[in-house]
Amino acid sequence: MAEDTLFQAVLDPANRADPYPLYARLRESPVSIQRDGSAVVSTHEAIRSLIFDPRLSSEDLPPSHRPRTGNPLKDWLLNPLKDRIATAHRPLIFRDPPDHDTLRHAVMREFSVARVRALRQRVVRDVDALIDACRGRDEVCLVEDLSYPLPVSVICDMLGVPEADEPQFQAWATQLATALEPDARHDEASRHRTVAAFDAISGYMRALIREKRRRPTADLLSALAAPSPSGKPAMGDFDLISTAILLLVAGHETTVNLITNGMLTLLRHPRELERLRADPERAPRVIEELLRYEPPVHFRTRKALGAIEIAGRTIPKGAPVILLFAAANRDPARFREPDRFDPDREDNQHFGFGGGLHYCMGAPLARIEAEIALVALSRRLVAPRLMADPPPYRPGASLRGPERLGIRISGLAPG
Amino acid sequence: MTAGDTAGIVVVGASLAGLRGAEALRRNGYAGRLTIVGDEPHRPYDRPPLSKHVLSGELAPDATGLPELVALDAHWRLGHAATALDREARAITLADGTRLAYERLLIATGAQARPWPAASGGRLQNVFTLRSRDDAARLRTALAGAPRRVLIVGAGLIGCEAASCCRDLGLPVTLVDPNPTPLARSLGTWVGGVLVDCLRDAGVTFQAGAQVLRFEGDASGRVVRAQLADGRAVEADLVIVALGATRATDWLADAGLMADSRGVTCDGACRVLRADGTPCPDIYAAGDVARWPNALCGDRLMSVEHWGNAVAQSAQAARNMLAAAEDQQTYRHLPAFWSSQFGINIKAVGANAGADAVAIVQGTRASRRFLAVYGRAGRSVGAVSFDQARWLPAYAEAVAEGRAFPPIEEATDQGTFLAHAPGFPPARATFHPIGVRHG
């Protein structure tokens, strides 16, 4: 297989369950230029260098473009205006400094360690309640029963989004997350669906933010919407909406994979599951190794603003650059026995949360949720067995994780 | 067999370089006798917090201890400085008269704060320097006593950080410096100008271009004011003298080595040079005190008084101490420092002093968030970031490779590229032969 079809194979759903052999072959050339001009980067060293390279831009998303409606007022005035606003106010994962820094700073001030720690007890209660709800069953679907509802409920609570509204934006969140998938970017119809989902969810957020301004509560959205002491809001309304959407989507589409991949991996390594059950203090090590071994996000796309010479190749100016974090996480030049799941690993500098200036803002939250969930699952599920291995996967190659994870159990231990 | 054969390795200096050097010896497999000599009674501690969190009261002075990363199994000789080195006998003398034999010696005595001359008021009460943990503890106590005004002499890194802390404590501060801006020697006045605005916003009275002649005390011997060269006076009841440091080499005066107040001169492999310029096979130096031809800066003889150098150079020296004569590796180091002051995180790499051009490559001076690169004769020689450190490594790499100035022209957040004169003050006479004391 030629280099440039390897990445096509990565995108092929048939390889979703085990892309790692493909990654190993991609790593043979740290940077491989695809036929469409994009550069796939797959070694730890090359990615490490690129995430700190100021020539790599995150503003790689194609501009927003609403489809023709036949209504001249919409086609010639309203929609072009909306497209320009949406393009100019992308969420901060698609922004560069200095705007990126301003937005991130405003969010991070509120996405604080203290706010995340305060959620710990709540996560513990949620996890126990979700597991209790499986009482009497001999089969659970981990995705449906725990790994999806947990982070969704936590992010809704943290943001201040009424959980009762969740069913209406679940589909929007899934559609918006496809913006990270290379296939969807090139697919006009999918991009139109994304714009429609964006319009719907931003209408919802606009109303919610208005409500938060009227009656502020203790949540993050109220804090971001409130004027700062100087009287100036932390960010403009359009940025506020896109930031709120980003946090909500990220809460829906990433941690679910960390928890599901985590339990899947532990069920494939029963000795590690047992060790975690016996010693919950191992949880942080287990989570870090999971973030390396089966990360929730496999790659992100950037754009080269200038020609970049790296690892003996030149990434041409303007080329999309695919940072294959999950391949770097298995780089034998960086990790000893990279294909072995080993929570006792030292010096585990993985890219499970990406890296550089776009390093995951939700990392502390994801870690806490995954720790609590996996410890509880290891202690409470009696004799858990995988029902299908590999399980069926969701379509995404970047946000990669099982669609369902059926586990047969012989009962529940008390919480 | 002489006594020296069982004496093992002696490390003189129990701060960062001494500790990390000792650890590197153990890590590289040295199992023999290891002795660490320190002039202070304390185990190794970290200095950067002293002018920041310790002054502000967030961290107790004794909470700055450095972790021992490797089991050292060392003999600690703390509280008595080394006072002499006898190379012939392979022994050092300590302040309490003890003689310590060595097989190999690592000199990591660091530097000492340049004191204010006693004749001009240096011995008055409430005149402080800030170098050691005890200095910081004393100064912290004095600051907690709510002085009416703090005068800081010298707007280098320590002076600026102290000024920032004093303002955080709500104390009125006057900062004087002979140059037009703070950090003029390390960053130049063009970048330093940003800090002039920060000082103003923070409420520090900054007297640029001012020189202090002497401090004056009251009847009880307590400082009350400083007289400036231009005839003005600054009323202040607490003074921090922040005029940099001199290398701690007095104890080597009669050792027959190339050593003076600029440091102990070494070859590229950290081996100390005899007065005739030949390397001693058994004496190495690392950290602030070491002066060596740095291949990354055109083989210029330099000493680097920063944290990262202490760690890296002591590791290199330790490695070479255990290696055969034909396997000595050259130490190359890109100088780097960081500082936090006035809510800004400053990071710098390279040898900026002596640059002939500086340009913002990302961000703006007005936003106080930027990355600037320094050039010399068309090459990139250094870079500094104000709250913009994430991309500094990319520029550091360009500097280390000596790429053209400016090194990266197609970056995000890049405005119009304009080179400016960096505004470094003319070199001052800093050379003081051993024996001339300033106290």
Residues of A in contact with B371 (CB under 8 A): 54
Place of tokens 């330093």: B192
Task: Give which of B376, B369, B368 is closest to B419, Cα–Cα.
Answer: B376
DSSP state string for A247-289: HHHHHHHTHHHHHHHHHHHHHHSHHHHHHHHH-GGGHHHHHHH
Partners of residue A317 in chain B, C-beta under 8 Å: 410
Residue A280: the pLDDT is: 97
Mean pLDDT of B252-264: 95
Structure tokens at A76: 């010639």
**Residue A295 corresponds to which tokens in the numbers above?**
């990360």
Residues of B in contact with A98 (CB under 8 A): 363-364, 367, 369, 413
CA distance A37 to B404: 28
A40: CB partners within 8 A, 6+ apart: A6, A7, A26, A31, A32, A34, A322, A324
* Assigned CATH class of B3-112+246-327: alpha beta
Number of domains in chain A: 1
Beta carbons of A55 and B412 less than 8 Å apart: yes
The C-alpha angle with vertex A213 and arms to A208 and A219, in degrees rounded to 5, equals 70
Residues of chain A falling short of pLDDT 70? 1-4
At residue B3 the predicted structure's pLDDT band, cuts being 50, 70 and 90, is: very low
Question: Does domain B343-400 fall into CATH 3.30.420.40?
Answer: no
Convert the pLDDT of each residue in B179-225 to its tens digit: 999 999 999 999 999 999 999 999 999 999 999 999 999 999 999 99
- For residue A266, being part of any structural domain is answered with yes
Enumerate the CATH 3.50.50.60 domain ranges in chain B, comma separated: 3-112+246-327, 118-243
CA distance B202 to A324: 45
Q: Would you call B390 an interface residue with chain A, using a CB distance cutoff of 8 Å?
A: yes
Taking only Cα atoms into account, the Rg of chain A, rounded to an integer number of angstroms, comes to 21
Specify the pLDDT at position A415.
80
Provide the pLDDT for residue A385: 97
In this prediction, residues B23-31 reach a mean pLDDT of: 97
Sort out which chain A residues have CB atoms less than 8 A from B364's CB and list them. Answer: 98
pLDDT, position A65 = 86
Tokens of B212: 């202090």
Using the structure block, give the residue that is written with the tokens 């940072």. A323
CATH architecture of B118-243: 3-Layer(bba) Sandwich (3.50)
Angle at which helix A255-268 crosses helix A270-278, to 10 degrees, equals 110
Residue B252 above 70 pLDDT? yes
Has residue A413 been placed in a domain?
no
CA dist B266 to A246, B102, B136, B258, B317, Å? 56, 19, 31, 8, 11
Radius of gyration of chain B, Cα coordinates, nearest whole angstrom = 22
Mean per-residue pLDDT over chain B, rounded: 93
Confidence of residue B301 (pLDDT cuts 50, 70, 90): very high
Do residue A54 and residue B412 have CB atoms under 8 angstroms apart? yes
Domain carrying residue A58: 3-408
B chain contacts of residue A97, beta-carbon cutoff 8 Å: 362-363, 388, 412-413
- Which chain B residue's Cα is nearest to A317? B410
Does the beta-carbon distance from B412 to A317 stay under 8 Å?
A: no
Enumerate the CATH 3.30.390.30 domain ranges in chain B, comma separated.
Answer: 343-400
Give yes or no for A101 touching B (CB within 8 A).
Answer: yes
Cβ of A306 and B409 within 8 Å?
yes
A50 contacts in B (CB within 8 Å)?
Answer: none
Per the CB < 8 Å rule, is B394 touching A305? no
Residue found under tokens 């650059």: A321
Q: Is A356 on the interface with B (CB under 8 A)?
A: yes
Q: Tell me, what DSSP letter sits at residue A144?
A: I
pLDDT score recorded for residue B344: 96
- Domain of A273, CATH number, reads 1.10.630.10
A335 within a domain of the structure (yes/no): yes
Which DSSP symbol is given to A302?
Answer: E
pLDDT band for B1, please (50, 70, 90 cuts): very low
Handedness of CA B207, B210, B216, B222 (dihedral sign): positive
Residue A366's closest CA among A252, A273, A278, A263?
A252
From first CA to last CA, the distance across chain B in angstroms is 44
Nearest-neighbour CA in chain B from A55: distance (Å): 4
Q: In what order do the strands lie in the sheet with B82-86?
A: B82-86, B91-94, B99-101
A253 in B contact zone (CB under 8 Å): no
- How close does chain B come to A105, measured CA to CA in Å? 11
Mark yes or no for CB contact A96/B413 under 8 Å: yes
Domain assignment present for residue A374? The answer is: yes
The pLDDT, as a whole number, for residue A62 is 81
CA-CA distance, A101 to A95, in Å (whole number)? Answer: 9
Determine if the peptide bond prior to B406 is cis (ω within 30°). Answer: yes
Alpha-carbon gap, residue A304 to A352, rounded angstroms:
22
Count of CB pairs separated by less than 8 Å, A with B = 50
Yes or no, beta carbons of A98 and B409 under 8 Å apart: no
* Alpha-carbon A26 to chain mean position: 23
User: In this complex, is the C-beta atom of B416 within 8 Å of any C-beta atom belonging to chain A?
Assistant: no
d(CA B255, CA B236): 43
Would you say B383 and B371 are in contact if contact means Cβ atoms under 8 Å apart?
yes
Mean pLDDT of B322-338: 96
- Give the pLDDT confidence score for residue B432 in this predicted structure: 40
Percent of chain B topping pLDDT 70: 96
CA angle A197, A236, A320 (to 5 degrees): 55
Flag if A97 and B394 touch (Cβ within 8 Å): no
| Residues of chain B with C-beta less than 8 angstroms from the C-beta of A358 | none
Q: Beta B369-376 vs B357-364: how paired, if at all?
A: antiparallel
Q: In one letter, which amino acid is B124?
A: L
Q: Where are the alpha helices (DSSP H) in B145-224?
A: 157-168, 184-202
CB contact under 8 Å between B363 and A97, yes or no, is yes
Is A145 within a domain?
Answer: yes
Read off the pLDDT of each residue in B410-418 and give the average, rounded to a whole number. Answer: 83
Q: A415 in a domain, yes or no?
A: no
Which residue, among A140, A143, A148, A145, has the nearest Cα to A382 in the 3D structure?
A: A140
Nearest to B358 by CA among B339, B390, B385, B337: B385
Report the residue from A59, A96, A98 with minimal CB separation from B367. A98
The verdict on ipTM greater than 0.95 is: no
